[in-house]
A = this chain, B = another copy of it.
Amino acid sequence: MLQTAERGATRKSKAPPHERYLEAFRWMLLTRVLEEKLASLYRGGLITGGVYIGRGQEAVSAACGMFLQKGDVFAPLIRDQAGRSAFGEPLVDVARTYLGSRLGPMRGRDGNIHRGSVKTGQLAMISHLGAMIPVVVGKLLAKRMKGEKGFVGLTTIGEGGMQTGATHEGMNIAAVEHVPLVIVATNNHYAYSTPNDRQFACSDLVDRAKGYGYEGSSVDGTDLTQCLEVIGAAVRRARAGRPPQLVVASTLRLAGHGEHDDASYVTDDIRREAFAQDALQRTEQLIVEQELLNREGLQHMRAQIAAEVDEAVATAQQEDAPVGSEEDWCAISTRELVDHVN
């Protein structure tokens, strides 16, 4: 759908499903099940801090994770569980972080959606939107300097986050450095409670691509086949040395901003738009229609996933929380340079 994408087109994909369609579906389903579990733990008061889920964006996110290889850089944001899982994040990392186990990748120092780890090649985001983009650029630049080859970096952003100065500077510097970067921007039509018309005034955010020297593509984020094709192609182009890629996906956030938010500001009109379809439902429907999996197959997958999620949660729940009095209160790694301020 490079440049010439039909915007908002929601016709049924005519093409046969992408070869990795089923795998993607599994990541999507895993995400849905996991996030519903997290939401229910949150409602039960068992999670401290916020829970932000990717409901409606699972197709986009799964595709983001699936085309990355070992050695690639992935900087996910708050609605990227599917991509995180697809790129290899163990479920127990998720559970440990949310449930405050001291064994989680952030050791209780940072929480929930801010997790990341060297082991999984996933950067731990800071909250300030757009700030991770130049960090990915720097990693890619360094890899090139070190003589590595064939790598890409992928990071995600929302239509709201695209309006930060950090995003602009990061997108531009990536193009100047000609690093193999893919930015997948999801316009889910809300940034917290703010609709598009108070966020930007261009007719389509993919129009930003040209102004940075990126190649731009649009994708219906509720259509998994398209997501796999378009994001897969963008990753391939970046890997082949083309300029940075901007993919703009269209969806509706099918949840509150976080689980504390009832999203009552989402209008009925917008819920009737084509981009408001549930990507997971659409995918499942196609799977059933095209008989990629039969009922039992589906049921089996569901049961397996539920068991995996439950196990991860159960593991984390048994683990100890970090203990304040044992904490190593030292912000830098060079211990002899710690400032002894009283």
Interface residues in chain A, defined as those with a beta carbon under 8 Å from any beta carbon in chain B: 163-169, 172-173, 175-176, 178, 197-203, 205, 207-213, 243
Contacts and interface: CB of A to CB of B under 8 A. Distances in A.
Identical chains bound together, number: 2
A326 to B, nearest CB: 40
A165 B199 CA distance: 16
A285 B75 CA distance: 57
B211 A207 contact: yes
Contact of A176 (B164, B166, B198): B198
A203 B213 contact: yes
A318 to B, nearest CB: 45
A212 B205 contact: no
A202 B175 CA distance: 8
Q: Considering the complex of A and B, which 7 residue pairs feature the smallest CB-CB distances, nearest first? A: A165-B165, A168-B168, A201-B213, A175-B201, A208-B211, A202-B213, A207-B211
Contacts of A198: 176
Most chain B CB within 10 A, of A166, A202, A211, is at: A211
24 contacts: A163-B169, A163-B172, A164-B168, A165-B165, A165-B166, A165-B168, A165-B169, A168-B169, A172-B201, A175-B200, A175-B201, A176-B197, A176-B200, A176-B201, A178-B201, A200-B213, A201-B213, A202-B212, A202-B213, A205-B211, A207-B210, A208-B211, A210-B210, A211-B211
Nearest to A203: B213
Most chain B CB within 10 A, of A164, A168, A208, is at: A168
A190 B207 CA distance: 26
A166 B173 CA distance: 15
A29 to B, nearest CB: 36
A173 B205 CA distance: 15
Most chain B CB within 10 A, of A201, A202, A205, is at: A201
Most chain B CB within 10 A, of A166, A205, A213, is at: A213
A204 to B, nearest CB: 9
Contacts of A203: 213
